[in-house]
Chains A and B, each alone.
Chain A
Amino acid sequence: MKHSLLLASLLAVLAAGCSTTDINEPMGLNAPFPELESRTSDGSEVDLIGSSQGKKLSQSALEELAAAAELADRAVYFDYDSFAIKSDFEGVISNHAAFINKHDAAVVVYGNADYRGSHEYNLALGQKRAVAVKQALEALGVNGSAIETISFGEEHANQTCTGSTCGQDRRADIGYVGE
C-alpha cells in the first residue's frame, strides 16, 4: 500500500522530468593533497635584506657583537597600547646604533605583540613597534634603508599569559643580517 504510493510519486516525478545527476562521481575534496612543508612555488629562501643598503656582518664584527656586554640586550619593551620608546631602553638603542654605524650593518627589527585580539591586528601592532625602534635608530644617525622591519605579531607570543607577564610579548628585537 505504502509502496504503491511511493512508486506513484516517483513515477510522477520522472514524468515531470526533474534533472538528475549521479552521486557516484569522484569527490574532489577527497583527492590526495601534496605535502607542502618543503615546497615553495618559487623555490627561494627568504631574502630579508632585499633592496636595503647596509652590509652583512663580517666575522670580526660578529665576534665583537658576541663579546660586547652592552650589545647583549636586543629587546625593547613597550607599554600596553603604546609605541613610545621608554627611557629604560634608550641605552639598548644607542648601543646598537653605535655598533650599526661603525660597521655599516644591515639590520632587521622584529616586532611582536601579546596574544590578545586578532592575529592580523597584532601583526600590525608588532610592525608599529618595529617601526618605532627603526625611527629611534634613525634619530641616532643610522641609515633607514639599512633597516628592515618584520612583524611576527602574536605568532611567537605566550598564548596563556596573564596580567603583566603579557608585557614580555609587547616587544621589538634588534637583529643583524649575517648572524
Chain B
Amino acid sequence: MKSFLKPLLMIWMVCIAGAGHTLEVIEILGGKASQIPIAVIPFKDSNPKKSLQLMNEVIANDLNRSGLFSPIDISGVSDYPYDEREVNFSNWAALQSQFIVVGKIDAIGRSNNQMQVTWSLIDIFKEKTVLSVALKGQPSQYRVIAHRIADTIYEKLTGSKGVFDTNIAFVKKLDKERYSLFIADYDGHNPRAIVNSKYSIISPRWSPDGEKIAYVSFEKRKPVIYVQNIVTGERVLLANFRGNNSAPAWSPDSKKLAIVLTYSANSQIYTIDADGKNIKQLMRTRSINTEPTWAPNGKEIYFSSDRAGSAQIYKVDIDTNEVVRVTFEGNNNVSPSLSPDGKLLLFLNQDGGSYRVAIQNLLSNQVLRLTDGPDDESPIFSPNGHMVLFTYKDYGKLSKIGTVSINGLKMTPIDVGSESILESTWGPLPN
C-alpha cells in the first residue's frame, strides 16, 4: 500500500506511433554528446491559469537535472506547435532539437474544475510521434502531472525509470535550537515538516517500502533512533541503549535495520528487526565500525571503519562476518551507499582537505569524483541510481542541498529556503 505517497492520476496511454519504434538506450557515464537535445513547448491552454503555463518548465527542469537531456532554449521561437501536424520538422532540426514535447490543456468535468493534459513526444529526425498520452487531474496538481510526463519521457528515451515523481527528506536547522525533518517533492517543492525538535536530528533514512523514515534524534541528550510512519505520524523508539544509538540503515526488504551502538566502547554495527527485536552484533572489533548500508542483495553490509588508521570503506558478509576493504584512494572515505544495481559505490571522499562526493565502479574500482567540495556531505542515490542528492556549503558557509547526475555533467541546487540543510535522504519509486 504505497499509493498514499502519490496522488493517483488517471492515465490513458495512447500508442499512436509506439509500435515498432525502437530507440537506442543511452550509455550512462557517457560524455556530453550523449545528452539528448529536447524542446519542451508550453502547452496550449484553453482555460488559462498562470501556473499551468509552467508545466513545460517543470518538465524541462526535470529532464535537465538528470544530466541525460539538454532542453533547448525556445525563447526565440514565436509560433508554438501543439501537436504533430503543427511541427515544422526542418525548423526544429535546425535548432538541433532531437525530440519535441507538445501538448494542450482542456478544462473538463462539472463546472470545468478538472483538467485534461494531452501531450506527445515527437521524434524530429524520424518525423514521427513516439507516444501520446492523456492525463486527467486537478489544476492544483499540475506539478505532479508534469513530473509524471517527464518520467514517461525519461523511461521511453533512456530505458530506465524516471525519479521526478519521488520524494526526498532533509533536516533543516532553523536556528540553534530549532531543527525540523522535512519531506518534499524531489525538487524541493511542497515541503512539509514531519518532526520539529529543539535538538539535532541526523541520518534520516527512508524505508525501501516507502512507509517509514528512521532517524537519529538528540532529544534525550544523547543520540537515539526513532522510526516514524510518514502517513500516521506515529513513531517508535527503536534503539535507546546505553551509550550512542545511531546510523540506521534499512535492509532491502524493509524488515530489518543495521544500527550502530557504543555501550561504553567504540561504535559497532548491529542488526535489529524493525520492531526492535532480535538484536545481533555483526562484528566485534576495537576500532570504529559505523555508517552501515545494505547491498541490494541483502547479503552484505558496507560500512566505514578506521581499522587501518584512516577512515576507509569495507564490506562484511552478514553470514560469515568476512570483511573486505573496498576503498583505497584518498585520505579518508566515509558515508557509503550502493546503487540499486549494486554496481556503484557512492561515498564521501576526503583528499587534500576537501570533502567531495565520489563514485567507485565496483568491477573496475575506478573512482570518479562528482563534486568539487570542499564541504560536501550526505550523498545518497536517486532510486534509479542516475542522480545523487547531497549537501554542500556555499560561500556563506550555509549548508545547501542539491543533485548531481552520476555522469558528473549536471549539478543543480534544490531551493528549500535560506536556512541550513544538514542531512538528506531520497524516498523510493512509487509503486
A residues near B (Cβ < 8 Å) are 2, 5-6, 9-10, 12-14, 16, 18, 20-25, 27-31, 33-37, 40-42, 45-46, 48, 50-52, 81, 116-121, 123-125, 127-128, 131, 134, 144-145, 147-153, 155, 159-160
CB-based contact B12/A29 at 8 Å: no
**For residue B231, which residue of chain A has the nearest CB?**
A28
- Quick check: A123 and B11 within 8 Å, CB to CB? no
| CB of B242 to closest CB in A, whole Å | 5
**CB closest chain-A residue, reference B221:** A46
Give the complex CA separation of A27 and B9 in angstroms.
11
Contact status of A36 and B235, CB under 8 A, knowing A23-B141, A25-B8, A149-B264 = yes
A118: B residues at CB distance < 8 A? 291, 334-335, 348, 377-378
Q: Mark B102-123, 1 if CB is under 8 A from A, else 0.
A: 0000000000000000100000
Contact between chains at A5 and B192 (CB < 8 Å): no
**Once the chains bind, are B193 and A33 in contact (CB under 8 Å)?**
yes
| Interface contact A120-B246, CB-CB below 8 Å | yes
For A28, give its contact among B5, B12, B240 (CB under 8 Å). B5
What A residues does B226 contact at CB under 8 A? 41
Stretch among B35-43, B130-138, B322-330, B402-410 lining the A interface: B130-138
Q: Are A48 and B221 in contact (CB under 8 A)?
A: yes
Least CB distance from A126 to B in Å reads 9
Chain B residues whose C-beta falls within 8 Å of the C-beta of A34 in the assembled complex:
233
Residue numbers in A under 8 Å from B15 (CB-CB): 16
Q: If the complex has contacts A20-B11, A36-B235, are A123 and B244 also in contact, measured as CB distance less than 8 A?
A: yes
B264 & A124 in contact (Cβ 8 Å cutoff): no
Closest residue of chain B to A134 (Cβ to Cβ) is B264
Q: Is the CB of A29 within 8 A of B167?
A: yes
B265 x A131 contact (CB < 8 A): yes
Please state if B242 and A50 are interface contacts (CB–CB under 8 Å): yes
State in angstroms the CA–CA spacing of A24 and B115 once bound together.
Answer: 12
Ordered by A's residue number, 11 sampled pairs between the chains whose C-beta atoms are within 8 Å are A13-B13, A21-B9, A23-B10, A29-B183, A33-B194, A52-B242, A117-B332, A121-B288, A123-B244, A123-B247, A127-B244
Which residues of B in the span 1-31 have a Cβ within 8 Å of any Cβ on A? 3-16
Q: Which chain A residues lie closer than 8 Å to B282 at the CB level?
A: none
- Nearest B residue (CB) for A20: B10
B191 to chain A, nearest CB (A): 10
Digitize B235-265: 1 where CB-to-A-CB distance is under 8 Å, 0 elsewhere. Answer: 1110010111011000000000000101011
Please indicate the chain B residues that have their CB under 8 angstroms from the CB of A116 in the complex: 355, 375
Query: Whole-angstrom distance from the CB of A80 to the nearest CB of chain B?
Result: 11
Check: B219 CB closer than 8 A to any chain A CB: yes
Known: A18-B13, A29-B5. A148 touches B243 (CB 8 A): yes
Docked Cα-Cα span, A20 to B190, in Å, equals: 26
Q: Are A159 and B223 in contact (CB under 8 A)?
A: no
Task: Choose, from B71-79, B198-206, B294-302, B360-368, the stretch at the interface.
Answer: B198-206
Docked CA distance A29–B267 (Å): 35
CA distance A31 to B203 in the complex (A): 24
Q: Beyond A41-B237, A127-B262, A151-B262, is A119–B422 a contact (Cβ under 8 Å)? A: yes
A14 and B11 CA atoms in complex are apart in Å by 11
Q: What CA separation (Å) do A35 and B233 show in the bound complex?
A: 9
B230 close to chain A: CB less than 8 A = yes
Contact A148 B264 (CB under 8 A): yes
Given contacts A12-B14, A120-B335, 9 further A-B contacts (CB under 8 A): A6-B83, A10-B134, A21-B8, A23-B141, A36-B195, A41-B236, A121-B334, A127-B243, A155-B200
Residues of A within 8 A of B231 (CB): 28, 31
**B262 partner residues in chain A, CB cutoff 8 A:** 127, 149, 151
Q: Are A46 and B8 in contact (CB under 8 A)?
A: no
B397 within 8 A of A: yes
